[in-house]
Amino acid sequence: MFSSISKLSPQEAEQQIQRETVKVIDVRSREEVRQGKIPQAVNIPLDELAERMEELDTSEQYVMVCRSGNRSAKAAKYLQKNGYDVKNMTGGMMKWQGDIEA
């Protein structure tokens, strides 16, 4: 059994992003991301994660982001099972207060 997924508040995530200690993966659809995303985030929609996870580096730490935190929790569990160091941002983009780029 794998350990539970670590969670970060949007504020904690923003601090770690600014310190460049984590990379952000946004698992929302491309349409959702077009409405705005965290500037440093890489968009890998949840339904593409299995075939695109080789784009990620197991030596990096990742924060998973979606609209509300549900899809990103699924993505984080999946990646953790496959050997990645991941955290889930609780509340998703609905709670994000930091910068957003179109």
The reply to whether CATH 1.10.540.10 applies to domain 6-95 is no
Token digits of residue 100: 């957003």
The tens place of each residue's pLDDT in the chain, 102 residues long, gives 456 899 999 999 999 999 999 999 999 999 999 999 999 999 999 999 999 999 999 999 999 999 999 999 999 999 999 999 999 999 999 999 999 998
**Spatial CA neighbour of 62 closest among 48, 78, 51:** 78
- Residues in CB range of 45: below 8 A, 6 or more apart: 27, 28, 29, 30
Please name the amino acid found at residue 63.
V
* Cα–Cα distance measured from residue 57 to residue 95, given in angstroms and rounded to the nearest whole number: 27
Residue positions annotated with a catalytic role: 66
Token digits of residue 49: 């994660």
